[in-house]
């Protein structure tokens, strides 16, 4: 079983990765609104994309999560760490509902339950 500090950093990295994705989504929503729903050629859109504060914050948070993730990979068995990333799916589903007013249906709830059971089973396998 990984040490407590390793687990804490693992979950911080996962949470930061999800928060980074949420911020990038919020930023891209703003960019699309300002662009009238059409970014045009991606190369021409890059300055608009990478000057949005939410996109920049999201990329920064995501990069920092990657640094933490690299540390986690050096300490925790891959067969334990990598499946734990699925917890980010739960964070994203909840944030999608809360931040972006997305719908959570019975299939998403079932998926959340399955993910929780799967991560719990992985944790038990390490004991």
**Structural domains in the chain (count):** 1
Quick one: how far is CA 38 from the chain centroid? 26
* 29-43 per-position pLDDT tens digit: 999 888 887 777 778
Q: Tokens for 100?
A: 């972006």
Q: How many whole angstroms separate alpha carbon 31 and alpha carbon 56?
A: 12
The DSSP code sequence of 79-99 is: HHHHHHTTHHHHHHHHHHHHH
pLDDT score for 35: 81
pLDDT in tens, 4-59: 999 999 999 999 999 999 999 999 999 988 888 777 777 878 888 999 999 999 99
Coil vs helix vs strand at 64: helix
Domain containing 90: what range? 4-125
């Amino acid at each position: 079983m990984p040490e407590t500090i390793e687990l804490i950093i693992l979950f911080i990295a996962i949470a930061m990765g999800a928060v980074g994705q949420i911020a990038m989504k919020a930023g891209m929503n703003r960019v699309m609104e300002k662009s009238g729903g059409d970014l045009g050629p991606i190369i021409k859109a890059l300055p608009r994309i990478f000057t949005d504060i939410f996109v920049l914050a999201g990329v920064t948070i995501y990069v920092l999560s990657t640094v933490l993730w690299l540390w986690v990979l050096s300490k925790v068995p891959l067969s334990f760490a990598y499946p734990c990333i699925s917890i980010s799916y739960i964070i994203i589903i909840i944030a999608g509902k809360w931040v972006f007013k997305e719908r959570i249906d019975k299939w998403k709830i079932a998926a959340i339950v399955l993910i929780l059971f799967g991560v719990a089973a992985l944790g038990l396998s390490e004991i």
